């Protein structure tokens, strides 16, 4: 979303919003409001329920936008805590809602392979724009606020870059399958503006940020460069939509001509019935009634039917063949709809799961921690956090390679998950670190679990091909309290982990 990234950068800066940023946001906001309203109006003609839902959610976002405008006028120290996170999360949720709704509509409206390819390219393009926009916003806000980038932010950037690379590859494949010169040309424009022009500048500033050498104005510089690069991505979606409309119009025209031809043939048959009713009763009327019944079954989604009269060479045979084509088309549509539903479920799972370990990712676990904090404030329900780190993991990578390192990570992830209760939440916290969130558990209970995991891993030998590995982990445990808050609880667990690392490793420390 155009405003998500720029407002995120503004809210991370120390000073109130500049006149230049205010003008930029107002201009883009007006254009986006107009475009969305036009889209809602078009959707209402056929998908009124979905259009109303998206409009209502966008109205809520507008209300939040007013609050963001007020906050952006204040210096950093006077802003409401976590307001930037609220804004960024709300915008991202709305983007995902739009994508999910488009997929739902797409499953209803698509009727051939070419339309399916166009539609999937559009969805992939919007997904790619969301990922790289997220990536750009994280980086720009980091160097604008602190003029450096943390290890967590750097890890999340690398994860997003890997995800965007995969989606970009799928976009290229879809464009090749569609085989449109105009589409390929626009794809090359996006590649040039984003990967050839914008990304090298981002990499240059990223290197400086990692060295702590970022200069004043770097955030403003990269934000300005990102506008043209990120906007160009939507050119691909616009071109795909334009070409898909043309294909739909041609399909409609051809279908209308076939319908008229079928009507004329049917009228001719009716004239014959007038003169030889007795003969045609069994030859035409009964078959037509049968075909009508079959069409009614198909309209209810019943495709497991046997269609007679296909071998006839007259109009009945043609109608029967037409019904058979309709049957196949509906079967393909149902299969495609099922495939899309599975893809949506998979995409939703990928958004909260770490692909290597199949554990939850950092973004998801932070949301669950916030939920438990809110529950604590309502009912004083205790919860604890365990942060663990694999001992000498870098040595494993250096000696045996990253494939073996990945095997160790996934094996330990399964071991930890197997030791936990159903209500416990296990996530990959970053690199070789894991975080276990334990609802309704004090620090004593958390200590018992951490010790059980430590002992089970210590006694286990991991077999990576011909290599036998003895791996240990160090654990830091902290119980949530109102005085500590979430950040303090996580900081305590980290300090406990560090203490354990500095005093021999392969141990559990409670702070």
pLDDT of residue 444: 98
What is the distance between the alpha carbons of residues 144 and 141, in angstroms, rounded to a whole number?
5
> CA nearest 102: which of 328, 347, 300, 326?
347
- Residue in the block written with tokens 């992830």: 413
Q: How far is CA 328 from the centre of its chain?
A: 32
What is the distance between the alpha carbons of residues 474 and 203, in angstroms, rounded to a whole number?
34
- From residue 387, alpha-carbon distances to 154, 426, 462 in Å are 19, 10, 22
The series of mean pLDDT values per 10 residues for the chain, 511 residues long, is 72 87 87 84 86 92 91 91 83 80 62 77 90 86 80 84 91 91 94 94 90 87 86 90 85 60 56 53 74 83 86 82 85 80 67 95 97 97 98 96 97 98 97 98 98 98 96 98 97 98 97 93
> CA nearest 476: which of 455, 453, 499, 503?
499
> CA nearest 356: which of 445, 261, 430?
430
Helix axes 113-145, 2-12, angle to 10 degrees: 10
Instruction: Calculate the CA dihedral of residues 176, 181, 186, 189 and round it to 10 degrees.
Output: 90
What is the distance between the alpha carbons of residues 427 and 58, in angstroms, rounded to a whole number?
32
Separation of first and last alpha carbons in the chain: 42
Going by C-beta distance under 8 Å and a sequence separation of 6 or more, which residues neighbour residue 469? Answer: 396, 400, 404, 408, 461, 462, 463
* Tokens matching residue 187: 């794809």
What is the distance between the alpha carbons of residues 161 and 359, in angstroms, rounded to a whole number?
20
pLDDT of residue 412: 98
> CA nearest 141: which of 9, 16, 17, 21?
9
Q: Beta strand 508-510 with 473-479: parallel, antiparallel or unpaired?
A: parallel
> CA nearest 391: which of 356, 445, 354, 434?
434
- The DSSP secondary-structure symbol of 360 reads B
pLDDT of residue 318: 82
In terms of pTM, does the model score above 0.75?
no
What is the distance between the alpha carbons of residues 200 and 180, in angstroms, rounded to a whole number?
29
- Residue in the block written with tokens 């560090």: 498
């Amino acid at each position: 979303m155009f405003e998500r990234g720029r407002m995120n950068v503004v809210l991370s800066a120390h000073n109130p919003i500049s006149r230049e940023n205010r003008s930029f946001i107002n201009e883009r906001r007006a254009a986006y409001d107009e475009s969305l309203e036009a889209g809602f109006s078009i959707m209402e003609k056929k998908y009124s329920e979905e259009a109303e839902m998206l409009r209502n959610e966008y109205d809520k976002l507008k209300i939040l936008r007013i609050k963001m405008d007020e906050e952006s006028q204040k210096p950093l120290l006077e802003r409401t805590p976590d307001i930037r996170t609220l804004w960024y999360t709300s915008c991202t949720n709305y983007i995902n809602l739009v994508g999910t709704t488009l997929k739902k509509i797409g499953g209803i409206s698509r009727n051939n392979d070419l339309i399916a390819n166009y539609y999937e390219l559009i969805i992939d393009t919007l997904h790619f724009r969301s990922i790289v926009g997220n990536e750009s916003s994280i980086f720009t806000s980091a160097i604008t606020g602190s003029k450096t980038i943390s290890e967590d932010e750097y890890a999340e950037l690398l994860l997003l870059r890997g995800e965007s690379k995969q989606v970009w590859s799928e976009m290229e494949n879809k464009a090749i399958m569609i085989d449109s010169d105009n589409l390929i040309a626009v794809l090359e424009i996006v590649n040039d503006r984003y990967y050839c022009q914008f990304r090298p500048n981002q990499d240059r500033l990223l290197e400086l940020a990692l060295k702590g050498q970022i200069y004043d104005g770097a955030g403003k510089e990269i934000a300005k460069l990102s506008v043209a690069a990120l906007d160009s991505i939507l050119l691909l979606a616009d071109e795909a939509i334009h070409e898909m409309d043309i294909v739909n119009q041609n399909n409609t025209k051809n279908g209308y001509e076939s319908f008229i031809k079928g009507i004329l043939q049917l009228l001719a048959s009716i004239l014959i019935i007038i003169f030889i009713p007795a003969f045609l009763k069994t030859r035409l009327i009964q078959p037509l009634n049968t075909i009508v019944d079959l069409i009614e079954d198909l309209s209810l989604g019943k495709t497991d039917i046997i269609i007679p009269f296909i071998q006839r060479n007259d109009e009945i045979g043609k109608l029967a063949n037409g019904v058979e084509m309709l049957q196949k088309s509906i079967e393909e549509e149902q299969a495609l709809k099922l495939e899309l539903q599975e893809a949506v479920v998979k995409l939703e799972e990928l958004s909260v799961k770490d692909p290597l370990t199949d554990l939850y990712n950092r973004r998801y676990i932070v949301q669950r921690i916030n939920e438990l904090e809110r529950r604590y404030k309502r009912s004083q329900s205790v919860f604890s956090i365990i942060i663990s780190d694999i001992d000498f993991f870098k040595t494993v990578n250096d000696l045996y390679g990253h494939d073996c390192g990945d095997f160790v990570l996934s094996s330990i992830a399964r071991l930890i998950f197997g030791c936990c209760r159903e209500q416990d939440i296990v996530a990959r916290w970053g690199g070789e670190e894991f975080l276990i969130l334990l609802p309704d558990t004090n620090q004593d209970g958390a200590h018992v679990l951490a010790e059980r995991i430590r002992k089970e891993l210590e006694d286990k030998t991991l077999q990576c091909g011909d290599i036998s590995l003895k791996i240990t982990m160090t654990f830091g445990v902290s119980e949530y309290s109102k005085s500590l808050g979430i950040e303090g609880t996580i900081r305590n667990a980290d300090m406990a982990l560090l203490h354990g690392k500095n005093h021999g490793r392969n141990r559990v420390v409670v702070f």
